[in-house]
């Protein structure tokens, strides 16, 4: 597995890590794109970009922390221009469903001379096992706003498998895929399913958006992080963003992973054992 032609940005992240694993299982070499990689890549240091792109034909782009944050669009423009200059052939972008700013970033790829695939995903199941909802589960109390809004949570393994297909097969070029799970669940229903899977009760407490953000600020979290969480709740967790897509099945030929299946698998790993 020498001379990798595929660069995976965010190779330690929820989807990037899985994409790397799935490609390795196919005996396909990749170049990992992270600040601690052998050839480092850092979105905040443009001097790292060219070396990471040298000799690369295809790139999976995940932007940290999110395409919605100020400055993301300009960085995607600069990165796409550099990739074009260095004769990269194809870019696959992980985008956020319902995020207007993310769709502006999508347009950058669509308007370039490169092949592209947009993977526009709903909120991840893994937000409850690898991200910002894990600590509330471990505490036994889930206090969240927008408690009754239905969300078609999608599994990171489904996203990664779609990305691998887009990297390896040309029929996915110049396509926009909206990825969701097979059902709509609100936060209270999610809490119940996690409690059942872990065999330990979790109290769900509906709170207002104002109280939730005030509580986050009371924890002295970075203001940029608090801003992003508030943005995602206000822009993404809305009824108009709850439609279920069949694109996972369209690409993979199977139904998407259900939240119940995810919860049972996550519980078996002990991640929710406090």
pLDDT in tens, 115-158: 999 999 999 999 999 988 999 999 999 999 999 999 999 999 99
What pLDDT, on a 0 to 100 scale, did the predictor assign at position 222? 85
The pTM of the full predicted model, rounded to 2 decimals, is 0.95
Residues 203-247: pLDDT tens digits? 999 999 999 999 988 888 888 889 999 999 999 999 999 999 999
- What the chain holds in terms of domains, given with CATH numbers, is 6-122+155-180+242-256 (3.40.50.720)
- pLDDT (tens digit, 9 = 90+) per residue, 236-260? 999 999 999 999 999 999 999 999 9
CA pseudo-torsion sign 231, 234, 235, 241: positive
**Position 1 pLDDT exceeds 50:** no
Percent of the chain with pLDDT over 70: 99
Given pLDDT bands bounded at 50, 70 and 90, which one contains residue 2? low
Using CA atoms, how far apart are residues 29 and 32, in angstroms rounded to an integer?
Answer: 10
Checking if the pLDDT of 3 tops 90, the result is no
Q: Give me the mean pLDDT over the 159-183 stretch.
A: 98
* CB count in 10 Å sphere of residue 205: 12
């Amino acid at each position: 597995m020498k001379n990798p032609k595929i660069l995976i940005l965010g190779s330690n992240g929820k989807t990037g890590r899985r994409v790397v694993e799935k490609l390795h299982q196919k005996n396909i070499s990749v170049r990992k794109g992270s600040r601690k990689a052998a050839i480092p890549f850092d979105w905040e240091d443009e001097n790292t970009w060219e070396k990471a792109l040298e000799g690369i034909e295809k790139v999976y782009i995940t932007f940290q922390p999110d395409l919605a944050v100020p400055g993301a669009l300009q960085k995607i423009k600069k990165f796409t221009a550099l990739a074009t200059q260095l004769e990269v052939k194809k870019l696959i972008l992980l985008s956020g469903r319902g995020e207007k700013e993310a769709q502006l970033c999508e347009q950058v790829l669509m308007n370039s001379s490169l092949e592209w695939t947009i993977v526009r995903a709903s909120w991840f199941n893994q937000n409850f096992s690898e991200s910002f909802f894990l600590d509330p589960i471990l505490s036994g109390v889930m206090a969240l706003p927008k408690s009754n809004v239905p969300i078609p949570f999608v599994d990171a393994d489904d996203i990664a498998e779609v990305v691998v297909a887009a990297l390896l097969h040309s029929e996915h070029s110049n396509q926009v895929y909206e990825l969701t799970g097979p059902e709509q669940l609100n936060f209270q229903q999610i809490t119940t399913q996690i409690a059942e899977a872990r065999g330990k009760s979790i109290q769900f407490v509906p709170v207002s958006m104002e109280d939730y953000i005030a509580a986050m600020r009371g924890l002295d979290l970075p203001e940029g992080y608090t801003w992003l969480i508030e943005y995602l709740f206000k822009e993404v967790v809305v009824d108009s963003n709850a439609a279920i897509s069949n694109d996972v099945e369209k690409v993979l030929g199977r139904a998407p992973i259900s939240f119940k299946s995810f919860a049972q698998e996550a519980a078996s790993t002990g991640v929710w054992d406090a």
